[in-house]
Chain A
Amino acid sequence: MNWRNETVLVTGATGFIGGRVCERLMQAGVPKVRALVHSMHKASRIARVPVELCPGNLMEPETLQQAIGNAKIVIHCGLGDAGSIVRGTRNMLAVALAAGVKRFVHVSTAAVYGITPPPGSENETAVIRATGDPYCDNKAAAERVVLGYGKRGLPVTILRPSIVWGPYSAWSTRLVDDLRGGRVSFVDGGRGACNTTYVDNLIDAMFLSLENDRALNETFFITDGERITWGDFIRAHTAMMNPEPQVSNVSHEEIQATQEKTSGMLLSSVKATARVARSKEFRQILMKIPATEAMLTGAWNRINSLSPENRERLRARFGVQRVAVAAAPGRNGKHIPDPVTVATQSTTVFFSIEKARRVLGYEPRIKFGEGIVLVEQWLRYAAYLD
């Protein structure tokens, strides 16, 4: 199939990944790109590209029918929240199947194995187990729904990127903000596996899966294929800044000791949760979810069900030390990261892209060093760096 001649529907088009997908599709010469847009006011980035902005919501199938038009390819970057990850994906799959879509690329995440994936999850054959984290577990459930539609005849491919970074990514913008605010530490020397996936490399994999029949009903880890640690990632950002921020090391022992001493942590977590739940931004996010569990007790789960990037957004918005889970100052003024950051940066697993290389012919074209140069150029342009 020559996908370059097809109309493509992109969900999550106002997001970081979806926005770049729209740009790349246009650069690839695709005749028509339809962009599913839930919040029109967030569409400034893609509105400058000649894509068709299609108002719609993954939770409202009739809007998806309108949005799909004559698209024969769907690139599903849309996410939503805990309740909508699975239902929204199912809605999109059903509409795609009915519309005779020729390829459905589902953007999943390596976090189906958890925020700290267990050793042994390096390859796609590893068994997925419930993690207790709503985001991870719902993304895993969504994968099962996608494969179910694959069995029903919808040509599907699942891609599992990890830390998707690049221009416009909150991994870089928040990191720069946090570095400036002295809110970054190297967890255990920064040795944790970062599993970077430069956004253009991910999109390469999407495009490869569109033109390769061997990709059908298959699942692939997609990373930059380099053993980049969190220390590497953080240091690459401090090097962009002037003056260069100093980042201290915190050991797991220090983290544990501080957390045990923080007896008021539960109280402050509840306070932070309540504060977030009362906020306008959180209410807007809540509005995307069926109002079945709108009480405060549900807020904790909702926050934890957000993607890591959205958690970052909320945290930055409210100035709490991680939403709902407070970080604490440690001894000697060291910043002790919150449990989610600790978990994220304690990964020991480097995901293998051997299958993507073998089956898709995937080869990461943007190396980490090149990506950092591009990110730095963008951060300066976007006024995150002086």
Chain B
Amino acid sequence: MNHHGVKALTMAVGTVLAVALVSAQPPASATYDRERKVTLQGPVTRIDWVNPNAFVFINVRDAAGVTTNWAVQVGNALDLERDGWKRSSLKIGDVIAVEGIPARGPRRQALATSVSLAGKRVFAPPAKRPPAPAAAPAPRWPDGQVRLGPAPGRKGYWGAASANALVESTASKVPMNEDGLLLNLADADKVAPFKPWAKAVYEQRQRELLKDDPAGRCLPAGGPRQFHTPNGFQFIEQRELGRILVLLGGGDRNWRVIHTDGRQQMPAAELVLTYYGNSVGRWEKDTLVVDSVGYNERFWFTNGGLPHTEALHLTERFSRPDLNTLRYDVTVDDPRTYTRPWTGGWTVRWVPDEDLKEYFCEDNAESTFIR
């Protein structure tokens, strides 16, 4: 085989490997065992100060004198820098003590809850920020319409949501972790009015710790899940074009279009089924009401693994009672999955004077751990 042949074959094999190495980013619940704790101590051998997850690697010597290298996940580098921990906070060779949550299975990997250097804590997960004061009114357009984005000349985006997963609003509080994993599986009936198959699928996903979440394979998620991603979102209201763009700060970091030009919703049967569906919005006083159909079945529309079918029909309501608060409510109508339409929602907090950070769905860790 000549040079061109080798090059072409190399490209082909490279393509194969590239496909194989597009690795997953499963929910933390599937990666880490929160029922266990681990304490590690040793010198830093490597620092991967990257998005989406920064890692510090340390050599840990056990009681028998055997040294192994551990990967310690410390969080999103941009978030860490915002909270005061810099790339230079640790150096290669520093001996650190780590308290954390170990990975499931045999991997030498941990999620740090504390990192100390010479007895002084240099890292701890940031406490939840207090909600911004609600004193200021929502910004408005000259015609009085509420703005969903920043006021003219200002920056900001929508950040943390008050809920980790969608739950029917008539339910009492359903305890779950940040991935939407129920603390008590018997609460499944409170989450939504499932048809039997859907409840069985939901419970199966919960029992499997959400390990097959399509978002973990970086597939985009439509519907309510867009509004409780950890990395926020932003509205770009293009009134002259009759549409609103929703810029998504997490996942695949792309955008969704909400048509506000007065068009009618298309019959679902005539649509190409997509992850984000076909969205048509209209204003009812200060509330944006968005009707969406045409979803494919390739994603989970909320954390926690609620199933849906192509019959999914969402009615979302966005309102902004004050500058710092977005109220989000969604009615889920999927008669193939749920016994009746149901509604849930949450609030989202405004992050003033900042832009969405760069955060792409990828995993810098998996290939690192292939030894």
> Is B truly associated with A?
no
**Interface, chain A (partner B; CB < 8 A):** none
